[in-house]
Every structure is written in structure tokens, then in C-alpha cells.
């Protein structure tokens, strides 16, 4: 099987300064999940904002995976108040992912959005965010747990989420009413984008999953299904559904090439 017979999944990078030099980075677990759990080929997309022609780039891709990140979406994108001093932002990533998401939705291209990714998906489609959930009355501290611990502990089960009956995520969970997820986020969805539907909610009321009705596959989750994806039945189902949608795009593109 040739490499191009597999779907290409674009993964936009974060921009990080290491040793006083900027790098475009993606955590390895996302690329590995695309390979192992989705059976697709990851292509890293540098976050260079307006320098990318979204249309030309998406012509060469079959899906988008929007990853988590320590940085927050800049609040001016959704009309929020200025961030607290010291908040980590990544304006080049914002300038890259938000237009890519909108154009991918317009094309009915599959999107799987994880952690920061669900927040970007929501903002791109007209929603808003809570910047500091952990300071809201009655809400959990959803952030990464501190102290010395293994990666398994850090990304281990944290709380249940209730799945919307009849929704996409409930279907992937075999009709289950809830699943247990990890939790490593400080901000999250406030007002969902007008075209999005809520797929999962934490016990404190925080929205943890959304989808776009009528789309081939546009799903966002607030947790991290990519961590040891092959050891979690729901993660296997989620990446499998994403892959199926990406294969359909890939097959359609190949058919057009043959017809030409």
C-alpha cells in the first residue's frame, strides 16, 4: 500500500521558544495516535498564520487534528475580557487554526479537536470561552494535577462526563450514558457556537464535548483521548470514526484524479 493511499491528517503546530529560538512543535502522542489509532499519516502544519493559503493546504489534506496545548486562545477572538497577566498565548497558532477550521468546515472536511482544539473549534464557529474555570463557583479544578507523578497518573481518569442521548459520542460509546475521562485544562467552553451541539458535560456543568450536526465528522472533546489511545475502547472508537471520515475524503479525491 502506497503512502498516498492513506489519508493525510494535518496537525497545526504550537510555536514554542526553546533556548531563545522559536520552534514549531506537536506532542508526539498526537502523531502516534493518528498513525496507530486512526491508521492515517500525520503532516505537521507550521503555525505561520496569514502566510498559509488555507485553501491550497486543505486541497492536500483529508482531515484535521487540532491538538491540546498549554496556551490559551487570545480572548479578543471571542469578545472576552483581557487575559490575566502571565497567561500563555500562541497568536501564531490562533492565526493558523481558526481560519483552517472555518475553511475545513466549509469544505465538509473531517475535524477532530482535542482540549485546546475544542476551544478553537468553538471560537472559530462563533462561541466563547471561560478563561479560568477553576475560579468559578461550583466548578471543579479541571487543570493538570501538580506534584511529582507519572504520566499515567497525570493523564489518568479524573471524572465522568454525561453523554448526550442519541449523540455522536454516545453512539461511539455503544449507547452508554457516561464515560470516565482525564482532565488537564484551565479554560473551556462558555457559550457554544450557534451551530454546535453539546455532546458531553462534566458533573459540574462544564461542556466537555461538541459536534457539528450535518457535517461528515466534526467533533471536539475537552479531554485527551490520544493518550494511550489503543488502551481505551472509547478512544479507539473515536479515532476509528475520524479515520473512516478521512478515508471517505481520500477515496473521493482519488476517484476525481482517476476521472481526470
* CA pseudo-torsion sign 186, 76, 125, 112: negative
**CB–CB of 117/220 below 8 Å?**
yes
- Cell 475545513 belongs to 104
Q: Which of 130, 142, 224, 247 is catalytic?
A: 224
Alpha-helical segments (H) within 115-232: 116-124, 151-154, 168-172
Question: Any idea what DSSP says for residue 249?
Answer: H
**CB–CB of 252/154 below 8 Å?**
no
19 noted as active-site residue? no
246 noted as active-site residue? no
For 26-144, where are the E strands, in sequence order? 41-45, 63-66, 111-114, 129-130
Q: How far apart are CA 152 and CA 3, in angstroms?
A: 32
208 noted as active-site residue? no
Q: How far is CA 161 from CA 3, 178, 235, in A?
A: 37, 5, 14
Q: Which of 115, 199, 208, 247 is catalytic?
A: 115
Instruction: Map residue 17 onto helix, strand or coil.
Output: strand
Q: How far apart are CA 16 and CA 31, in angstroms?
A: 18
Residues assigned a catalytic role: 115, 224, 226
Amino acid at each position: 500500500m502506497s503512502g498516498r493511499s492513506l489519508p493525510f491528517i494535518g496537525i497545526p503546530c504550537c510555536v514554542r521558544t526553546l533556548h531563545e529560538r522559536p520552534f514549531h512543535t506537536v506532542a508526539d502522542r498526537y502523531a502516534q495516535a493518528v498513525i496507530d489509532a486512526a491508521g492515517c499519516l500525520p503532516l505537521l502544519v507550521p503555525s505561520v498564520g496569514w502566510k498559509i493559503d488555507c485553501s491550497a493546504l486543505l486541497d492536500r489534506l483529508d482531515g484535521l487534528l487540532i491538538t491540546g496545548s498549554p496556551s490559551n486562545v487570545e480572548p479578543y477572538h471571542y469578545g472576552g475580557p483581557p487575559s490575566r497577566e502571565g497567561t500563555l498565548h500562541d497568536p501564531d497558532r490562533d492565526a493558523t487554526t481558526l481560519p483552517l477550521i472555518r475553511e475545513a468546515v466549509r469544505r465538509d472536511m473531517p475535524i477532530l479537536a482535542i482540549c485546546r482544539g475544542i476551544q478553537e473549534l468553538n471560537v472559530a464557529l462563533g462561541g466563547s470561552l471561560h478563561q479560568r474555570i477553576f475560579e468559578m463557583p461550583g466548578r471543579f479544578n479541571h487543570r493538570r494535577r501538580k506534584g511529582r507523578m507519572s504520566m499515567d497518573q497525570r493523564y489518568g481518569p479524573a471524572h465522568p462526563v454525561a453523554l448526550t442521548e442519541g449523540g455522536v459520542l454516545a453512539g461511539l460509546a455503544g449507547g452508554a450514558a457516561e464515560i470516565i475521562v482525564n482532565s488537564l485544562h484551565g479554560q473551556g467552553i462558555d457559550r457554544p457556537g450557534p451551530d454546535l451541539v453539546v455532546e458531553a458535560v462534566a458533573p459540574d456543568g462544564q461542556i466537555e464535548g461538541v459536534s457539528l450536526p450535518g457535517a461528515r465528522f466534526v467533533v471536539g472533546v475537552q479531554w485527551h483521548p490520544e493518550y494511550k489511545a489503543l488502551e481505551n475502547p472509547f478512544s479507539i472508537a473515536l479515532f476509528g470514526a475520524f479515520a473512516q471520515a478521512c478515508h471517505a475524503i481520500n477515496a473521493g479525491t482519488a476517484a476525481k484524479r482517476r476521472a481526470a
